[in-house]
Amino acid sequence: SHTHSPHIAVIPSAGMGHLTPFLRLASLLLSRNCSVTLLTAKSTVSNAESRHISFFLATHPRVKHLEFDLIPPLQSSNSSAQDPFSIQYNAISRSAHLLHPLLSSSSPPLSAIFSDLLVAKTVACISADLLIPYYLVITSSARFLSFMLYLPAFVSNPDKFSSNAVEVEIPGSSPLPISSIPLPFLNPNHLLAETILANLGVVPEAKGIMVNTFDWFEAETIAALNNGIVLSNLPSVLPIGPLQAYEFDKDQSQCLPWLDDQPEKSVVYVSFGSRTAMSNDQIRELGYGLDKSGCRFLWVVKTSKVDKEEKESLEELLGESFLERIKNRGMVVKEWVNQDKILAHPAIGGFISHCGWNSVTEAAERGIPILAWPLHGDQGVNAELLQKAGLGIWEKTWGMGNERLVKQEKIGKKIVELMDDAELRSRASKVGREARKATELGGSSDKAIMGIIENLT
């Protein structure tokens, strides 16, 4: 007999870090016989987002795409609110009621809504109204999820902010160093903290919480979440990752052909994600550090948060003599690259990363050791956990609210440490084997996603 195939609405929030896992999940759902409607805000902050949405739709013609308008963003004098992505998160969160007519008139009728945490509050109301379940999709680590769930308690207890505290106790998890806590949360009036806090209240109403992680990688944290220790009325936390990249083959870049000519595991890949720009001084210092390390490198440079605003050329930024000096050992680009393909290339032996969660899961899947250099947001929490899991090393005094310039000598030494440590390399390979086991047919992540789909049929 025929079981009907579920129709799922997929609703990401802003920025490549949130969009990417949703598109990967949508692609996975299609491959498991679901129909998918993708809902996105009418204008995106970055060019990368709009390009990826268009390309995804072109290569997945069965996906229905609906756009919703954004109500005008809040004008705020608060300087921390100027981050364009925080403004967009907040605008999407406050525009989510515009989804109601789109979702209720959907044909065939929807079986479920899979949404980002940052729109959860409104989505919970809509799903209750339409009598369909909603599932949360967490685009960060399970450990950062437990921190977010603990946030309301954290911000309502100002003693936790005492300047001499070195860590906070999260029920069921190991203590979190204060230095890993994102700055916006130490200032609950920040737009990002406000948006997250506004949406946390409906978490218990979700049918389940999918996390782009895998059981082996965060076993203790996932167990604590599922044992009711973090929050007693929490729905099941379902690790479904690492979500696999879909084909993005419009890649004209020189990176892959260049990698083809490099020896196995000899190249360190350097990228700080889609929305993190270091100061120009730090960028130069990093360049000299890469040079000093003597290693081969592939380096993606970013000088502004939003891609539309990139100005300086590499020559202006780094100088022609630098570029000339390193040209046989290093490739430096200032463009979007296919990171997933790069990390899968046999020439890559290490990754200097800001520890955005997608980057961490991509490196985990390929067993590539990370030199963690977290700068803001969930990155410090992610850096700490990947080090504990054996995927990398972390020099805690770099970044995360610490404005001091990290000098080239130190950077050079750390890179050598990353690339020469055989034990680290074998621990990272083990992470890779476990990650791939999880997503194989019958693996823990595969079973979790199949369970959700079966529940909807």
- Where does this chain bind ligand BUP (CB under 6 A)? 15-18, 20, 271, 273-276, 300, 336-340, 356-359, 362, 377
Query: Closest approach of Cβ 16 to ligand BUP, in Å?
Result: 4
Query: Closest approach of Cβ 248 to ligand BUP, in Å?
Result: 8
Report the residue number whose CB is nearest to ligand BUP.
17
State which residue, 275 or 345, has the beta carbon closest to ligand BUP: 275
State which residue, 310 or 417, has the beta carbon closest to ligand BUP: 310
Query: Closest approach of Cβ 109 to ligand BUP, in Å?
Result: 32
State which residue, 143 or 275, has the beta carbon closest to ligand BUP: 275
Among residues 281, 269, 121, which one has the least CA distance to residue 206?
121
C-alpha 92 chain-centroid distance: 18
Q: Tell me if residue 333 falls in helix, strand or coil.
A: strand
Query: Closest approach of Cβ 217 to ligand BUP, in Å?
Result: 15
Segment holding 276, helix H or strand E: none
State which residue, 81 or 456, has the beta carbon closest to ligand BUP: 81
Query: Closest approach of Cβ 241 to ligand BUP, in Å?
Result: 12
116 labelled catalytic: yes
State which residue, 248 or 288, has the beta carbon closest to ligand BUP: 248
Question: Annotated catalytic residue: which of 83, 116, 291, 340?
Answer: 116
State which residue, 16 or 326, has the beta carbon closest to ligand BUP: 16
Alpha-carbon distance of 168 to 174, in angstroms, equals 9
Query: Closest approach of Cβ 124 to ligand BUP, in Å?
Result: 22
Q: Tell me if residue 29 falls in helix, strand or coil.
A: helix
Alpha-carbon distance of 73 to 361, in angstroms, equals 32
Q: Nearest-5° angle of CA 37, CA 114, CA 242? A: 105
Q: Which residues lie closer than 8 Å to 246 by C-beta, 6 or more apart?
A: 23, 24, 27, 56, 59, 60
Other Cβ atoms within 10 Å of 423 Cβ, number: 8
C-alpha 396 chain-centroid distance: 20
Query: Closest approach of Cβ 433 to ligand BUP, in Å?
Result: 21
Backbone angles phi, psi at 49, to 5 degrees: -60, -50
What b-and-e string marks burial along 276-296, b requiring 16 or more CB atoms within 10 Å of the CB? Answer: bbbeeebbbbbbbbbbbbebb
State which residue, 254 or 426, has the beta carbon closest to ligand BUP: 254
Write out the DSSP string of 99-116.
HHHHHHT-SSPPSEEEEE
Overall size of the chain counted in residues: 457
Query: Closest approach of Cβ 171 to ligand BUP, in Å?
Result: 25
Alpha-carbon distance of 112 to 453, in angstroms, equals 10
Q: What is the largest CA-CA distance in the chain?
A: 70
Q: Tell me if residue 249 falls in helix, strand or coil.
A: coil
Question: Annotated catalytic residue: which of 7, 18, 52, 190?
Answer: 18
Give residue 151's identity as a one-letter amino acid code.
Answer: L
100 labelled catalytic: no
Segment holding 239, helix H or strand E: strand 237-239
State which residue, 190 or 275, has the beta carbon closest to ligand BUP: 275
The catalytic residues are: 18, 116
